[in-house]
């Protein structure tokens, strides 16, 4: 399958996952959300096999853990703690991958990212109860992900590192909207914002291999 066709199929599957969510069609959403991640994972695996590297295998592993996190959050009794743990592990693998072979050029980039993370944390703090420490750790790790991704592009300045720099903030945005929608106040556009940026971020990471 050509790359363009693969991306089209992934986009179609993602669209159906979002459609199922909004139409409250659980079967459609539950079928196409993991299918979209499986398609992205398959694309990443194919690229990793064609050009083997530690970077590629780390990204593939991160995608696999993200799929596991999705499954935990979709179970009839929402397993938020194992889901959060799976995504946290995925982000750690992404941070390791994106820091491969680059110097740290800009500590200043970390400041606005941490400020945004602190705002999100303060916004949901009262409503997360026993999850305060896990959520704080998660926010710190995904902030590190964005920082390392930006540094990767500043160091390499090429197409694949640009995909990483685009994908990481999209993931941060997706998680921030998810947190606000889940723990602060639900709003109508939340799911399309969460899912569209989430799938886009993961696709960017897969294409960066």
- What is the structure's pLDDT at 38? 97
Selection from 32, 87, 14, 42 nearest residue 209 by Cα = 42
Which residue segment(s) compose the domain that 67 sits in?
3-207
Selection from 206, 187, 177, 207 nearest residue 66 by Cα = 206
Give the separation between CA 204 and CA 187, rounded to whole angstroms: 27
- List the structure tokens of 176: 């921030």
Residue 104's SS3 state is coil
- List the structure tokens of 115: 């400020």
- What is the structure's pLDDT at 105? 67
Q: What percent of the chain has pLDDT over 90?
A: 80
Q: What is the pTM of this model?
A: 0.93
- What is the structure's pLDDT at 73? 87
* Residues 121-160: tens digit of each pLDDT: 999 998 888 889 999 999 999 999 999 999 999 999 899 9
Block residue for tokens 């993370």: 117
Give the separation between CA 26 and CA 28, rounded to whole angstroms: 5
Q: How many independent structural domains does the chain possess?
A: 1
* Residues 96-114: tens digit of each pLDDT: 999 998 886 677 888 999 9
Q: Where are the alpha helices (DSSP H) in 51-158?
A: 54-74, 80-98, 110-124, 132-156
Tell me the angle at which helices 132-156 and 80-98 cross, rounded to the nearest 10 degrees: 20
Q: What is the mean pLDDT of residues 44-48?
A: 97
More confident call, 29 vs 24: 29
Give the separation between CA 38 and CA 46, rounded to whole angstroms: 12
* Residues 169-194: tens digit of each pLDDT: 999 999 999 999 988 888 889 999 99
Q: How confident is the model at residue 78 (pLDDT cuts 50, 70, 90)?
A: low
Q: For the chain, what is the mean pLDDT?
A: 93
Ranges 75-79, 154-158, 201-205, most confident: 201-205
Residue 164 in this model has a pLDDT that exceeds 90: yes
């Amino acid at each position: 399958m050509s790359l363009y066709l693969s991306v089209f199929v992934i986009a179609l599957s993602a669209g159906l996952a979002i459609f199922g969510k909004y139409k409250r069609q659980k079967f459609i959403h539950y079928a196409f959300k993991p299918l979209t991640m499986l398609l992205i994972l398959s694309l990443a695996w194919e690229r990793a096999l064609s050009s083997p590297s530690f970077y590629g295998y780390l990204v593939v592993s991160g995608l696999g853990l993200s799929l596991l996190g999705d499954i935990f959050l979709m179970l009839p009794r929402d397993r938020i703690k194992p889901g959060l743990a799976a995504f946290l592990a995925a982000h750690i693998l992404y941070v390791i991958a994106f820091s491969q072979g680059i110097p740290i050029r800009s500590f200043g980039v970390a400041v606005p990212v941490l400020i945004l993370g602190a705002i999100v944390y303060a916004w949901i703090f009262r409503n997360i109860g026993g999850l305060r420490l896990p959520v704080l750790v998660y926010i710190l790790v995904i902030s590190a992900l964005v920082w390392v991704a930006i540094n990767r592009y500043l160091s390499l300045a090429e197409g694949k590192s640009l995909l990483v720099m685009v994908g990481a903030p999209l993931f941060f945005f997706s998680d921030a909207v998810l947190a606000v929608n889940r723990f602060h106040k639900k709003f109508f556009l939340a799911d399309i914002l969460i899912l569209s940026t989430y799938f886009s971020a993961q696709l960017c990471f897969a294409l960066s291999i």
